[in-house]
Structure 1
Amino acid sequence: MPAEARAPRRGSVVWRYFGDARNMLLGPPLLVLQTAHPVVGAGVLQHSNYREEPWQRLVRTYLSLSTVIYGGQRGAERESARLRRLHETIKGVDDQGRRYHALNPEAYLWVHATLVQGAVDAHRIFGRPLTDAQIAEYYADMRQVGLLLGLREHHLPADWASFRAYYDERVLNRLEDNQAVWDVIDSVRHLKKPLRVIPDVVWRPVGGAAGRLAHLVTVGALPEVMRDRLGLTWSPEQERRLRRLARVVRATMAVVPRPLRIAGGVGAARVTTALADREERKRRTERQQQTEKDDRQPASAHAG
């Protein structure tokens, strides 16, 4: 990790916008874009339990991202290191005979890029678009997040204009139609119960309505070239429905104080940081106890 890589500062554009609750609405289309990358898609198919536990995976991802953005320098560095250790074992050969590794910088950068673009798109659709000055600051800080995650300077586009050119080129030439993409789309259409205790009779209408809305947002938020590649239709009526939903979300969030919009992310980071600190203290105590035990053994053996 480069020595200069820094976590987002409190009050920065990234701090104010990345963890906004509206960004959760774009989780499904971001998953589609991520898994459309052949390396990511193969890794998800062969190493993930996303289909069986979509909600648990969503929570883990949310906690991880929140820690990187809102966990301070120490929390961000620790979580970034954990993510890299986690991805070290995700490798194999895909169904087309191509070898892959999750830490391939090109694939790792693409996942980061979808998150960078996702927050911008969420505010464009469901809020107020970021100004040019805000986007410039936002991208500069998200570039630092990329460095924290283990990417190198030469991997990351230098500025927002370069990033947009990179992003459009990847969508056009690198992403593909694969099984992992359709697994995500199917899981969005047919949302599983987040908790088993919810009765089927309750979840059926609620989950059905939520799934239809999630599918609408997923298809509507995808780049047009990606919709065409996947054969997903987008009609004027669907566009009107998405705009109506966006107006409702915008009006609702307008009365929510800004600190509360990111409260979930900040709170999640505090929880994960506290748990990680506790685990670290536990490991230190265990190492100290083992060292003391080892130090006592020679004396005991000599006395015997």
Structure 2
Amino acid sequence: MTVHEEQEAAPVWGRWFGLWSFLLVWPRALLLQVAHPAVSAGVEQHSAYREDPWKRAYRTLDQLQRLIYADPADGAALGRTLRYGHRDMHGTDRHGLRYHALQPELFLWVHATYLDSLITLTELSGTPLTSRERDQLYTEWRTTGRHLGLREQHLPPDFDAFTAYYATMLPILEATPCVEELLGPATLTPPAFVGRSRVGTVCWRTLGRLLFPHLIRVTVALLPSPAATAMGLAAVHPVYRLTARAAALFLNALPYRLRCMPCAAQTVSNHRAGAHTLPANAAVPRTRRTRRADIPTITDRKHP
């Protein structure tokens, strides 16, 4: 089997998510997530992202990659671990509305931003999905949602229903405190390994002041227009979307092993060998002292 055939044999969801070019739309997904008032409140009140936003972003990406590339048993285990970690995340958003991280509408919104961003990447790359690929991708996305703990009634039944759901969500987004921080000072906080030295911190912030405003404009250029309007973001010059397109075309033109993140390359090899889809070095976290009965579920009931 050739490398191209290996690539085509891989699941659509994992094939695109594992590309380095996915990092072009990754910030877009995060921005859309925290533009939801309840998601923003949860991040503000229960996350240490202000201290090291880069570590938090990496952990989020790592968790999602392991979930996407896991086989059904491991995917379910990862989902239980993720839900257990969110069991105590609840509070009140800035509009005075109570929320809980395990509300299905919040889990669904976060999960939905990844699918929409991945589709944006395919269009940006000049290779929009065929109808068959889109249907396959949506089936795989629903499977990952079930691993997360979402139930059938929480997930739109088909892609057309998803599109309608997504359109209704965009107008409720807003310029939350998390959005303002991600578009401003948060990126100037250096990663922990850089911030250990004063020289590293100064260099990071100096470079950041020159580079990050342009990267932020690229992210804004890739947002859906209704979302940007709801967040009160001004339109950016079309050159920023063209820059993202050029970067995607360049990264996706690299040899397959180079344009893939390590987890995706390993998954393709495992798929060829008929082995587990979860990379060998991505151990499933265990809650050894926690009974399965204590793992919370995502339900429509009112959480405390």
TM-score past 0.5 threshold: yes
Q: Over residues 104-136 of structure 1, what are the superposed CA-to-partner deviations in whole Å (9 max), with x where a residue is unaligned?
A: 111111111111111111222245222222111
1:201 to partner: Cα distance? 5.0
3-state secondary structure, aligned to 2:135: helix
TM-score of the two chains, using structure 2 as the length reference = 0.79
1:189 to partner: Cα distance? 5.4
**Structure of higher CA gyration radius:** 1
Give runs of aligned pairs for residues 21-100 of structure 1, distance below 5 A: 21-100=20-99
Q: Which residue of 1 is the match for residue 292 of structure 2? A: none
Q: Given that residues 51 and 187 in structure 1 are in contact (C-alpha distance below 8 angstroms), is that contact kept between their aligned partners in structure 2? A: no
C-alpha separation in 1, matches of 2:259 and 2:99: 40
Pairwise CA RMSD: 2.6
Call closer, same or farther: CA 1:250–1:175 in 2, change over 3 Å.
same
Q: Which residue of 1 is the match for residue 123 of structure 2? A: 124
C-alpha separation in 1, matches of 2:76 and 2:241: 38
Call closer, same or farther: CA 1:243–1:95 in 2, change over 3 Å.
same
Call closer, same or farther: CA 1:261–1:188 in 2, change over 3 Å.
farther
Q: Which residue of 2 is the match for residue 180 of structure 1? A: 178
Give runs of aligned pairs for residues 64-213 of structure 1, distance below 5 A: 64-126=63-125, 128-172=127-171, 174-187=172-185, 190=188, 192-193=190-191, 195-196=194-195, 197=197, 199-213=200-214
Figure out how many residues of one structure are paired with residues of the other and give that number: 269
Structure 2 portions without partners, runs of 5+: 1-7, 268-277, 290-304
Call closer, same or farther: CA 1:150–1:162 in 2, change over 3 Å.
same
Q: Which residue identity does 2:64 align to in structure 1?
A: L
C-alpha separation in 1, matches of 2:164 and 2:189: 34
Q: Given that residues 190 and 205 in structure 2 are in contact (C-alpha distance below 8 angstroms), is that contact kept between their aligned partners in structure 1? A: no
1:36 to partner: Cα distance? 1.6
Q: Over residues 173-193 of structure 1, what are the superposed CA-to-partner deviations in whole Å (9 max), with x where a residue is unaligned?
A: x32332122122224653534
TM-score of the two chains, using structure 1 as the length reference = 0.79
Q: Given that residues 190 and 201 in structure 2 are in contact (C-alpha distance below 8 angstroms), is that contact kept between their aligned partners in structure 1? A: no
Q: Given that residues 143 and 156 in structure 1 are in contact (C-alpha distance below 8 angstroms), is that contact kept between their aligned partners in structure 2? A: yes
1:37 to partner: Cα distance? 1.4
1:203 to partner: Cα distance? 2.4
Q: Which residue identity does 1:57 align to in structure 2?
A: R
Q: Which residue of 1 is the match for residue 233 of structure 2? A: 232
